[in-house]
Homo-oligomer: A and B are copies of this chain.
Amino acid sequence: MLDKKNLREGLSFYNTISRKKEKFVPLNPGRVGLYVCGPTVYGPVHLGNVRTFLVFDVLYRYLRWLGFQVKYVRNITDVGHLLHDADEGEDKVAIQARKEGKHPMELADHYTRYFEDVMQTFKLHPPNISPTATGHLIEQQGFIEKLSQTAYAYSSHGSVYFDIHRYAKDYSYGSLSGNKLEEQKSLSRPLQGSSAKQAPEDFALWKKADPNHIMRWPSPWSDGFPGWHTECVVMSQSYLGLPFDIHGGGMDLIFPHHECELAQSLALTGNPLAQYWLHANMVVFQNKKMSRSEQSTLPALKDFEDLRIFPHPEAFRMLVSQAHYRSTLDLSETALISAQKTYLRLINGLKTLKSFQTPRASTPQEDLERKIKKACEGVWQAMNDDLNTAVALSHVFDILSYIRAVEEGQATLKDLSPETHTDMKNTYIACVEEILGFSFPQAFGSSELPDTRIDLLLRLYVKNKQAKDYDSVEIIRAYFKAHGISFQERRDGTLSWKYT
């Protein structure tokens, strides 16, 4: 029996800030506040980004399935993210807009729509709130004003900077990333003579806009725009309170982005913003970490569809689920082809499982009972152990072996007790559909079975074969092949089909 209350109490995550697995204890019993850093919309979101969002999509689904009331906030950065994450350079949206001859907000609108399309294509559940940077300027200005009144920030030449060295006297700068300030100093670009910063490690809270920078707003300090690190620290607590439960994002955000969010929060309130910091690792493509600054990305939609090796976005979801979210993910044609096959085995198993009736009488096979019970427990143990979807899936595949054995006549439904049968069914469906978020291939519509079109064609196939109309038989066979369906005759002459 699935005891969700028990499971909720057994949940643990690896917390970046403590560098160890911790039991998850929400601030408010039964509720979870989750903030994930979203896309910067000056270009198409790439598969590295999608991996991160998929990881937190699974987290969100699992928390809800466990019975938590979750408030999920994921922002959209439509201004302020400068070219070099280390805070130099020009606003990324502004640069791209100029390249494309568009107003920055036009560009942001376009790539926000693209991002939402991608999220829909990969079937991610939308968050509860998707705040934009431009939609929270007054809040950011208020926050910066307050910080300005502390020793940790200073104005200079119309910009406002966070004083890292002053902060490091009272706090431990680098507690999230493990970076040492001294090492940072040697890595930073030396300040230009005319720089407004006191030290190269300092980062902008508010940046005075160059004359040709279109995105600009009046402020107490200058016409300018907010720094990237301020946006998230302000919006997250604005909707989730301070502190909130979980702050998520890609590992590339640990430093400087999340380190700087944490610093601002501690500097202003003594509060570390979030209890648990979860980070998803990078996608590696052609030996390079997938990141726009490395210019080694695969735009998530267009190229994906063109790469005819994986017509199902679910193949990427499978690839992601089969890896541990804290490991790098190797993306290649081979890996995706393999993941696609795995997904199809899994989804065909789901199709078959849903057609099983609970046995009324049974003669349980002891070894099998034990194996299936162990697999079911294993799924939840794995999920509770820092979202180990890879191990959870291996247990799901143990269940799948049994499903296929039944399908092929090597086992029967009677081999399990009704109770274990129910447990098995619930576990497989919950894990595969509700938590890992897989669904049936798009081309064949909903998850209702059987698909009327396929059914029709199968019936025609049978009749045509009986009537010895082999031309028609061949037409149908070719059609199925072109549409990713394969079928075979059972011994009794009926047809079974599956996605290929």
- CB A117 to nearest CB in B, in angstroms, measures 10
A456 within 8 A of B: yes
Which label, helix, strand, loop or mixed, suits the secondary structure of the A interface?
A: helix
A251 within 8 A of B: no
Q: Which of A44-52, A133-141, A354-362 contacts B (4 or more CB under 8 A)?
A: A133-141
Interface string of A434-455 (1 = CB under 8 A from B): 0000000000000000001100
Q: Which of A123-131, A255-263, A328-336, A343-351 contacts B (4 or more CB under 8 A)?
A: A123-131
- Selected from B109, B239, B456, B463, the residue in CB contact (under 8 A) with A129 is B109
Determine whether the beta carbon of B138 is less than 8 Å from that of A138. Answer: yes
- Selected from B134, B142, B464, B479, the residue in CB contact (under 8 A) with A469 is B464
A105 within 8 A of B: yes
Determine whether the beta carbon of A472 is less than 8 Å from that of B453. Answer: no
Determine whether the beta carbon of B459 is less than 8 Å from that of A475. Answer: yes
CB-CB contacts below 8 Å: A451-482 with B: 452-453, 456, 459-460, 463-464, 467, 469, 471-472, 475-476, 479
Find chain B residues with CB under 8 A from A270 CB: none
- Selected from B102, B132, B469, B471, the residue in CB contact (under 8 A) with A135 is B132
A469-B463 in contact given A106-B128, A138-B137 (Cβ < 8 Å) = yes
Closest chain B residue to A136 by CB distance?
B134
Q: Bound complex: CA of A411 vs CA of B26, how far in Å?
A: 76
A116 within 8 A of B: yes
Find chain B residues with CB under 8 A from A487 CB: none
Q: Bound complex: CA of A464 vs CA of B469, how far in Å?
A: 8
Determine whether the beta carbon of A456 is less than 8 Å from that of B469. Answer: no
Q: Bound complex: CA of A102 vs CA of B472, how far in Å?
A: 57
Closest chain B residue to A109 by CB distance?
B129
Interface string of A82-124 (1 = CB under 8 A from B): 0000000000000000000011011001000100100000000
Copies of this chain: 2
A217 within 8 A of B: yes
Determine whether the beta carbon of A109 is less than 8 Å from that of B135. Answer: no
Determine whether the beta carbon of A218 is less than 8 Å from that of B464. Answer: no
Closest chain B residue to A112 by CB distance?
B130
- Selected from B105, B469, B472, the residue in CB contact (under 8 A) with A131 is B105
A129-B105 in contact given A464-B464, A464-B469, A476-B460 (Cβ < 8 Å) = yes
Closest chain B residue to A217 by CB distance?
B138
Determine whether the beta carbon of A471 is less than 8 Å from that of B475. Answer: no
- Selected from B103, B134, B452, B460, the residue in CB contact (under 8 A) with A239 is B103
Closest chain B residue to A469 by CB distance?
B467
Find chain B residues with CB under 8 A from A467 CB: 467, 469, 472
Given A113-B126, A460-B475: 19 more A-B contacts, CB < 8 Å: A71-B106, A102-B128, A106-B128, A106-B129, A109-B127, A109-B129, A109-B130, A137-B137, A142-B218, A453-B479, A456-B475, A456-B476, A460-B472, A460-B476, A463-B469, A464-B464, A464-B472, A467-B467, A467-B472
Can you list 10 A-B contacts (CB < 8 A)? A102-B128, A105-B129, A113-B126, A134-B136, A138-B138, A452-B479, A456-B475, A460-B472, A460-B475, A467-B472
